[in-house]
């Protein structure tokens, strides 16, 4: 199949790399935060590339591979992330062990975590219920204390209380950390976390009183390797010390000690949301890498000015493709950077919680809710846009984007439905609005923009006339505009409620507020990443270019109406801002291959015939199709036997012979 056109595809991708204005390797270090982290990621990628079981068709190999290669717990979790393959034990490490370490006493951690790390027990995180997905307060599973036996009785009062969608519960788990309503002497103390056995470690049969199983295939064929399950409990008895008691406690006399914050039992969900932020960025990065490489080597039409060499134009050179893909690259970078920062903040919050200091919890909860909503929505929408930008071939499973989307899209609803979480963001920010109304000041950094409502310029937009259009590239101006928009949206929500609108009627206002809060946070974290780089580093300007594109993408593409209706930007300034936006897109497009190469994804990770590093898309697609079982001699034989019965039915054979 070697022709001039096929050779040209490799030439095109290598030419794009050679003309880049910066080193993709240097940018990789920025993305991963430290050269050591990049080295670890590369170590794991090499391990996967050389492991036959690690093909994308593999399933539960990761956990065994981790033991065989003596990887640390962190490396095993990173291995799952790098491979983009989940297993029945993904949440065993990411949630079951993590929740016990965070919510259990030192004695409880010593008892359970070592056994879990050795896989002597296998766990999962059982919160979601069939009839109460995102409503933690409304969970129906109960844990009633029995003084006579010093035990809790775990019970599902009806079908709606069945634990559902629980990753790892369907087949693998022997235990779960279970969210259940704590009942003592008939009084409900709200949801708390309990370690509940579901299957015997001796023969794997369900524990007496437990009904457990697998819920079946998921949409789009996603999460095929995860055994999402269900469980119902019929007065299942567990020891009192199976309740995780680092914060809330129950004595053997039934006395209850409340935690320092009533939302501490939600900490496990916060942790999972923290991980989802950078993960959403990397998944979008995968899709953008595939689409960028393919549109670089794909040539179609001659355009207004035919190339002198007679070749058709590279698809990535078309404005419509650049406007669709380049902003998505900036979004992916923004998510990764914010994910790194929020992970550090979460670690600091945990250190304080160990000393009974819950001061950071409300803000981290607010930030992770908003960022989870924004990142999962923008990432999955962006993945689909990448697929469409690739034209017809993007719909082939061999493009690789379909599988990325299939595993990413449920993130919009798990760990809290996005629209429900948006309401929590709105409710949290209204508290800060109350502080401003009383003449106070919001000292919280991520919400400090609320102080704009008390300043002299609270009712006026940031001035940006045509002569000052470049001011839109000033980080302080950008943060002012984004903060002003967010603050005024919160103020408007307050006015709506004050005028008599019911809380249930302002869901969409909360949605816009959640996005505004997330975008302010993402932008400020992008700017902090730039400030952390050496001023003379050659990588600073390429990163700044992406930060500017991220900011203007929100203004010119996604959120023009909210910026204008809040008065954060004047209509008269939009023309000049749009012009700068177009310049940024064209500038990023010149380095698109380098920006996406910097994610450092291996061909094995991408699993894409169209987005491989060498750019030989058509040859790889041809090879993938030839491997289709239907194209083998046996496959054709089986199909022919079926179709010949139709072709030769009745007079058909004679009719066909005359044609």
Percent of the chain predicted with pLDDT > 70: 91
How do beta strands 163-166 and 229-233 pair?
A: antiparallel
Give the Å distances, CA to CA, from 550 to 351, 448, 569.
33, 21, 17
> Residue 559 above 70 pLDDT?
yes
Cα separation, 570 vs 382, in Å, equals 28
pLDDT given for residue 58 in this prediction: 40
pLDDT given for residue 47 in this prediction: 73
Identify the DSSP state of 187.
E
310 compared with 159, residue with greater pLDDT: 159
Stretch 175-180: mean pLDDT, rounded? 96
Burial class (CB in 10 A: 0-12, 13-18, 19+), 611: buried
Stretch 110-132: mean pLDDT, rounded? 94
**Residue in the block written with tokens 């809380």:** 503
96 compared with 632, residue with greater pLDDT: 96
User: In the structure, what pLDDT confidence band is assigned to residue 69 with cuts at 50, 70 and 90?
Assistant: low
> Torsion angle of alpha carbons 142, 368, 281, 374, nearest 10°?
100
Specify which residues 197 forms β-bridges with.
Answer: 175
Q: Which of 101, 126, 125 has the alpha carbon at shortest distance from 113?
A: 101
pLDDT given for residue 457 in this prediction: 60
**CATH number for the segment(s) 462-590:** 1.20.140.10
Beta carbons of 496 and 509 less than 8 angstroms apart:
yes
Return the axis-axis angle of helices 401-408 and 361-389, rounded to nearest 10°: 150
Active site residue 415: yes
User: In the structure, what pLDDT confidence band is assigned to residue 515 with cuts at 50, 70 and 90?
Assistant: very high
Give the Å distances, CA to CA, from 627 to 57, 244, 404, 485, 501.
14, 51, 21, 53, 60
Q: Report how far Cα 582 is from the mean position of its chain's Cα atoms.
A: 28
Q: Which of 332, 293, 288, 287 has the alpha carbon at shortest distance from 613?
A: 293
User: In the structure, what pLDDT confidence band is assigned to residue 265 with cuts at 50, 70 and 90?
Assistant: low
Paired tokens of 317: 């050179």
Identity of the highest mean pLDDT range in 38-52, 79-93, 219-233, 300-314: 219-233
Stretch 550-555: mean pLDDT, rounded? 97
pLDDT given for residue 51 in this prediction: 64
pLDDT given for residue 367 in this prediction: 93
Cα separation, 71 vs 87, in Å, equals 17
Give the Å distances, CA to CA, from 549 to 289, 325, 544.
17, 12, 9
The H or E element that residue 256 is part of is: strand 256-257
- Total residue count of the chain as it appears in this document: 659
Cα separation, 138 vs 132, in Å, equals 6
Rg over CA atoms, the chain: 27
User: In the structure, what pLDDT confidence band is assigned to residue 222 with cuts at 50, 70 and 90?
Assistant: confident
Which segments are annotated as binding site for FAD?
A: 128, 167
Active-site residue identified among 129, 415, 509, 519: 415
How do beta strands 123-126 and 236-239 pair?
A: unpaired
Specify which residues 115 forms β-bridges with.
Answer: none
Identity of the highest mean pLDDT range in 81-85, 210-214, 530-534, 537-541: 210-214
Per-residue pLDDT reduced to its tens digit, 291-326 = 999 999 999 987 777 777 788 899 999 999 999 999
DSSP 581-647: HHHHHHHHHHTHHHHHHTT---HHHH--SSS-TT--HHHHHHHHHHTSGGGSHHHHHHHHHHHHHHH
* Average predicted confidence (pLDDT) for the chain: 89
pLDDT given for residue 71 in this prediction: 63
Paired tokens of 637: 């034989």
Please report, for the chain, the start and end positions of each structural domain, with discontinuous segments joined by +. 94-245, 462-590, 631-659
Identify the DSSP state of 180.
E
Paired tokens of 53: 């079981």
Beta carbons of 526 and 31 less than 8 angstroms apart:
no
Burial class (CB in 10 A: 0-12, 13-18, 19+), 69: middle
38 compared with 112, residue with greater pLDDT: 112
How do beta strands 123-126 and 210-214 pair?
A: unpaired
Cα separation, 180 vs 163, in Å, equals 10
Beta carbons of 448 and 436 less than 8 angstroms apart:
no
Identify the DSSP state of 243.
B
Give the Å distances, CA to CA, from 121 to 95, 97, 212.
14, 11, 16
Beta carbons of 282 and 332 less than 8 angstroms apart:
yes
Backbone angles phi, psi at 188, to 5 degrees: -95, 120
Give the Å distances, CA to CA, from 252 to 117, 197, 286.
29, 21, 53
User: In the structure, what pLDDT confidence band is assigned to residue 167 with cuts at 50, 70 and 90?
Assistant: very high
Looking at 3.30.360.10, 1.10.3720.10, 3.40.50.300, 2.40.110.10, the CATH number of the domain 94-245 comes to 2.40.110.10
Provide the phi-psi class of 607: left if phi over 0, else alpha when psi is between -120 and 50, else beta. Answer: left
Q: ∠ at Cα 86 (80, 92), nearest 5°?
A: 85
> Residue 59 above 50 pLDDT?
no
pLDDT given for residue 38 in this prediction: 77
Q: Which of 329, 390, 368, 280 has the alpha carbon at shortest distance from 595?
A: 329
Paired tokens of 310: 């007679």
282 compared with 65, residue with greater pLDDT: 282
Return the axis-axis angle of helices 267-297 and 401-408, rounded to nearest 10°: 160
> Residue 77 above 60 pLDDT?
no
| Secondary structure E strands in 113-235 | 123-126, 142-146, 151-155, 163-166, 175-184, 187-197, 210-214, 229-233
Percent of the chain predicted with pLDDT > 90: 67
Cα separation, 622 vs 538, in Å, equals 40
> Residue 35 above 80 pLDDT?
no
pLDDT given for residue 376 in this prediction: 98
Which segments are annotated as binding site?
A: 128, 167
């Amino acid at each position: 199949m070697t022709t001039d056109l096929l050779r040209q595809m490799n030439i095109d991708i290598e030419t794009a790399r050679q003309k880049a204005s910066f080193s993709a390797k240097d940018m990789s270090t920025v993305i991963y935060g430290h050269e050591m982290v990049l080295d670890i990621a590369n170590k794991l990628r090499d391990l996967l590339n050389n492991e036959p079981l690690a093909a994308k068709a593999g399933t539960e190999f990761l956990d065994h591979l981790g033991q065989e290669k003596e990887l640390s717990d962190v490396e095993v979790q990173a291995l799952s992330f790098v491979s983009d393959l989940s297993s029945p034990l993904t949440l065993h490490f990411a949630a079951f062990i993590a929740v016990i370490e965070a919510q259990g006493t030192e004695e409880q951690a010593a008892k359970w975590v070592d056994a879990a790390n050795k896989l002597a027990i296998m766990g999962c995180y059982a919160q979601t219920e069939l009839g109460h997905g995102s409503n933690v307060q409304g969970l129906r599973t109960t844990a009633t204390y029995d003084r006579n036996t010093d035990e809790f009785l775990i019970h599902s009062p009806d079908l709606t209380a069945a634990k559902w969608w629980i990753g790892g519960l369907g087949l693998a788990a022997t235990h779960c950390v279970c969210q259940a309503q704590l009942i003592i002497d008939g009084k409900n103390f709200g949801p708390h976390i309990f370690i509940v056995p579901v299957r015997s470690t001796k023969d794997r049969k369900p524990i007496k009183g437990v009904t457990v199983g697998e819920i079946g295939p998921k949409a789009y064929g996603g999460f095929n390797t995860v055994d999402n399950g269900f469980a119902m409990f019929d007065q299942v008895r567990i020891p009192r010390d199976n309740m995780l008691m680092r914060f809330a406690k129950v004595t053997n006399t039934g006395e209850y000690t409340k935690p320092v914050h009533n939302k501490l039992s939600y900490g496990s969900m916060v942790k999972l949301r923290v991980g989802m932020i950078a993960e959403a960025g990397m998944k979008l990065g995968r899709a953008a890498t595939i689409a960028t490489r393919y549109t670089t080597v794909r040539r179609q039409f001659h355009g207004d000015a035919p190339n002198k060499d007679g070749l058709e134009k590279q698809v990535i050179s078309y404005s419509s493709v650049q406007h669709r893909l380049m902003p998505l690259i900036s979004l992916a970078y923004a998510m990764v950077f914010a994910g790194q920062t929020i992970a550090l903040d979460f670690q600091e919050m945990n250190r304080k919680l160990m000393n009974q200091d819950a001061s950071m919890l409300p803000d981290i909860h607010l930030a992770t809710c908003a960022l989870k909503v924004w990142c999962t929505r923008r990432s999955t929408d962006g993945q689909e846009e990448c697929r469409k930008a690739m034209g017809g071939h993007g719909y082939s499973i061999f493009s690789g984007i379909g599988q990325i989307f299939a595993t990413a899209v449920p993130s919009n609803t798990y760990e809290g439905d996005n629209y429900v979480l948006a309401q929590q963001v709105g409710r949290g920010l209204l508290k800060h609005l109350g502080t401003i109304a009383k003449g106070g000041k919001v000292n919280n950094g991520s919400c400090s923009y609320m102080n704009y409502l008390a300043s002299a310029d609270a009712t006026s937009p940031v001035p940006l006339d045509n002569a000052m259009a470049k001011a839109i590239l000033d980080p302080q101006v950008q943060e002012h505009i984004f903060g002003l928009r967010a603050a005024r949206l919160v103020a408007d929500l307050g006015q709506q409620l004050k005028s008599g609108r019911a809380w249930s009627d302002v869901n969409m206002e909360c949605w816009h507020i959640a996005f505004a809060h997330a975008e302010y946070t993402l932008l400020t974290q992008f700017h902090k990443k730039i400030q952390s780089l050496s001023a003379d580093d050659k990588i600073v300007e390429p990163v700044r270019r992406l930060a500017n594109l991220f900011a203007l993408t929100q203004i010119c593409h996604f959120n023009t109406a909210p910026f204008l209706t809040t008065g954060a930007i004047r209509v008269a300034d939009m023309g000049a801002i749009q012009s700068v936006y177009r310049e940024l897109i064209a500038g990023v497009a010149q380095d698109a291959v380098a920006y996406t190469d910097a994610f450092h994804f291996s061909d094995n990770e991408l699993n894409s015939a169209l987005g491989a590093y060498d750019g030989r898309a058509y040859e790889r697609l041809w090879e993938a199709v030839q491997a289709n079982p239907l194209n083998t001699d046996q496959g054709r034989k089986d199909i022919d036997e079926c179709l010949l019965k139709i072709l030769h039915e009745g007079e058909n054979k004679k009719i066909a012979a005359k044609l």
